[in-house]
Structure 1
């Protein structure tokens, strides 16, 4: 029996090509997804990686071999695939490895309405079929037909955010040679903005820098270009363009916490009293501002499957994560970098403020950012840290890892990695000095 533990992750299939993932396995994955989902029609899209067209064709042929019809949408961002799934009410498969290096590729599946497929919602069954074999199928094969949905997708996004009447903005967009190079020119069209493109050429070898804007080293060019062109804002997208990061007019990174708060207040103005979802390492300022604007804050575990489930459970209007993923009820609770960009640029265009001032109003606390720590015995370390702080009157919760909140409001979260002996630390406090003191204290405990 083939063991696919290294290839099939919690939320998708992802590995190196061709040793872990190849066309033969992609064909079987497409067939297994058709079998597990029972979908009559499956949309299949792919990113610009060198291996993606072959893998996408194999997934489509595999699904068709089990009787499913296939809508091949070609080159697409992941949120364009979610659009196809939501607008057409069909299942979907996206061939992408997001921000991973060029040697990687993967497959993300969703059910109709862009509902996620993870370990507990179908991926485990797909893995079992891939490892043990699919049952015999003697029915008719499905058909594969192609359609470009880019214009339709862009029009849908424009229908959600009205940019008319706003001041004209100059924006620099770094596509990182990823899929934003195809979608940004249409969604962020020149009739609304003066657009300065960086690395719009689709190139899955990522010749300029990795398409991972979460790493500050990968936004150096964007920051410089914003200052050089005296732009109002800079936008950076990851490889499959489902995440968006922002740089202000000074070339400084804008905290995703502030982006969550900004969009949450806009969505709550349109849907008063709604729930907004955020994860356990998001600033507590986010929850406070949701309440300030009449919303209901809902705290979730980190990860898109947990965020989307919480949004469904609470009919949330919006959800956000520190990693640059932003989720919208009006986009089938899926994450979309382009809709996020439109919201922020609309808010900026409605005012005379610079982006730095517009977003600074949402900052209330000092945070450490995420710090990875190698530890030999994760459970023992977590138990020791919890005992130390609760003995001094701090509160502990275990929604996702360990969160400790001191009586003075300072808090930290330790989350174990799913794949490595790592603890990820995030610290927040009222001021930089208190945050730094708590950060040093926790790190000292981890290394005791």
Structure 2
């Protein structure tokens, strides 16, 4: 099959201009139109310097195929998702490379009502057609119409909370010079919060580094500001702000794992007994919190298309991944980087407490390693040998995503990344930091020996 290097499992991502450029973006527009025969497609773009040109080329490819384009302009991936289910369109495409280096860009695709498009339902067909580049004569041109959805989106975000229950909070917000700052500005006059704004202006030059709060060095500015301003919490986003990351009032970074259980608890108060979807990397804390809140916890393979499929199947109210992707039924089962912090702020107000008070017991009861990424030569061999090594003593082994091995007091998951050439390792224990440290070190040493 003809291939293009920028096509990945879930989206398009590549270095500009050698892997992705205006010509390829145009061909992708033609290919999307041929695959799905849409009447109208929403198109938006993030803050990267090459995004406007790529967006224009994509829109022209769609229009040359007879498709009308709703150009929603500069924004985040979640705003394209919103357009896909809130507007009379047949799909949406966002120009973004999220947290990749500044010379990268990409495209994320959804169909009608925000249904994800990935390798198992059409992305390979788009790649094949774009690579062949044989589209025939242009049809009657579609119209490219600019439309702002900002006020409609503001109204939608505010619908997740009860404004009468909110209390004044001081919040450090770090957009990382990505697009999240515009949403904060949009919401500010409707919330009783004081925002301390860091790296707030959108700037595709990324003067303060690529917006990726998972990198420890990128957290320092937010942590210091929380302490300096005596803030109630801090929030940071990646470039296209489909993920948000939390810092408690002491400046400590909160692992995304613990936010899954907390958000599930918040939503189960409003939707008692509902299903919650979680991923297989770390989950003991999630299971306990969902059970205590009266919900039904259901596991899914890691990855947005799998989580969204499971949510639809189970009619789940919420799905959470420890990587800080949070999915909401009312948001067409898509992930969102602003609904989470709004819900958490309401939870803090309702319980008249702090984020650390909500989280610290969970961290103590179920300490975790955080995700450890390893570059290895032979992933299949390592997974096979790990199974052989641990199967005699394990309480349970599963193969939902990579290998999950459970003992009475600790467990781990090792899996190949869906998006990068890495082996991802996660370990957790029951109320035993020393056991966690020893087990993690033992596991990592074993993986290194197996990869020799």
State the match for 1:183 in structure 2. Answer: 183
State the match for 1:376 in structure 2. Answer: 377
Deviation at 1:191, TM superposition (A): 4.2
State the match for 2:53 in structure 1. Answer: 54
Q: Any conservation in 2 of the 1:232–1:354 contact (CA below 8 Å)? A: yes
Task: Tell me the alpha carbon deviations over residues 264-296 of structure 1, each in whole angstroms, 9 at most, x when there is no partner.
Answer: 112112112211111111231101221221211
Q: Any conservation in 2 of the 1:77–1:183 contact (CA below 8 Å)? A: no
Q: Is residue 302 from structure 1 mapped to residue 302 from structure 2 by the alignment?
A: yes
Q: What secondary structure, in the 3-state scheme, does the structure 1 residue paired with 2:163 have?
A: coil
Q: What secondary structure, in the 3-state scheme, does the structure 2 residue paired with 1:375 have?
A: coil
Give the alignment of 1:23-422 within 5 angstroms. 23-90=22-89, 91-137=91-137, 139-189=139-189, 191-363=191-363, 364-406=365-407, 408-418=408-418, 422=422
Q: What secondary structure, in the 3-state scheme, does the structure 1 residue paired with 2:122 have?
A: helix
CA distance in 2, matches of 1:276, 1:89: 29
CA distance in 2, matches of 1:184, 1:344: 15
Q: Any conservation in 2 of the 1:278–1:321 contact (CA below 8 Å)? A: yes
Q: Any conservation in 2 of the 1:32–1:134 contact (CA below 8 Å)? A: no
Which consecutive residues of structure 1, in runs of 5 or more, have no partner in the other structure? none
CA distance in 2, matches of 1:21, 1:7: 6
CA distance in 2, matches of 1:246, 1:392: 37
Q: What secondary structure, in the 3-state scheme, does the structure 2 residue paired with 1:447 have?
A: helix
CA distance in 2, matches of 1:443, 1:139: 57
CA distance in 2, matches of 1:266, 1:193: 20
TM-score (normalised: structure 2):
0.95
CA distance in 1, matches of 2:380, 2:155: 50
Q: What secondary structure, in the 3-state scheme, does the structure 1 residue paired with 2:121 have?
A: helix
CA distance in 1, matches of 2:350, 2:257: 21
Q: How well do the aligned residues superpose, as a CA RMSD in angstroms?
A: 1.6
Deviation at 1:208, TM superposition (A): 0.9
CA distance in 2, matches of 1:303, 1:138: 36
Q: Any conservation in 2 of the 1:258–1:360 contact (CA below 8 Å)? A: no
Task: Tell me the alpha carbon deviations over residues 212-268 of structure 1, each in whole angstroms, 9 at most, x when there is no partner.
Answer: 011121111000001111110100011001100010110001222221111111211
TM-score (normalised: structure 1):
0.96
CA distance in 2, matches of 1:48, 1:422: 27
Change (3 A) 1:182 1:421: closer
Deviation at 1:182, TM superposition (A): 1.5
Q: What secondary structure, in the 3-state scheme, does the structure 2 residue paired with 1:266 have?
A: helix
Q: Any conservation in 1 of the 2:277–2:297 contact (CA below 8 Å)? A: yes
Task: Tell me the alpha carbon deviations over residues 65-119 of structure 1, each in whole angstroms, 9 at most, x when there is no partner.
Answer: 1111010000011111111111114210100000111100001111111111101
Deviation at 1:194, TM superposition (A): 0.6
CA distance in 2, matches of 1:348, 1:300: 29
Deviation at 1:189, TM superposition (A): 3.7
Deviation at 1:139, TM superposition (A): 3.4
Deviation at 1:24, TM superposition (A): 1.0
CA distance in 2, matches of 1:69, 1:352: 49
CA distance in 2, matches of 1:166, 1:414: 40
Change (3 A) 1:420 1:362: closer
Change (3 A) 1:268 1:227: same
CA distance in 1, matches of 2:25, 2:379: 35
Q: What secondary structure, in the 3-state scheme, does the structure 2 residue paired with 1:310 have?
A: helix
Q: What secondary structure, in the 3-state scheme, does the structure 2 residue paired with 1:167 have?
A: coil
Q: What secondary structure, in the 3-state scheme, does the structure 2 residue paired with 1:350 have?
A: helix
Q: Any conservation in 1 of the 2:41–2:68 contact (CA below 8 Å)? A: yes
Q: What secondary structure, in the 3-state scheme, does the structure 2 residue paired with 1:120 have?
A: coil
CA distance in 1, matches of 2:305, 2:14: 20
Deviation at 1:151, TM superposition (A): 1.5
Q: What secondary structure, in the 3-state scheme, does the structure 1 residue paired with 2:351 have?
A: coil
Q: Any conservation in 2 of the 1:89–1:112 contact (CA below 8 Å)? A: no
Deviation at 1:180, TM superposition (A): 0.5
CA distance in 1, matches of 2:189, 2:173: 12
Q: Any conservation in 2 of the 1:319–1:327 contact (CA below 8 Å)? A: yes
Q: Any conservation in 2 of the 1:249–1:356 contact (CA below 8 Å)? A: yes
Q: Any conservation in 1 of the 2:257–2:323 contact (CA below 8 Å)? A: no
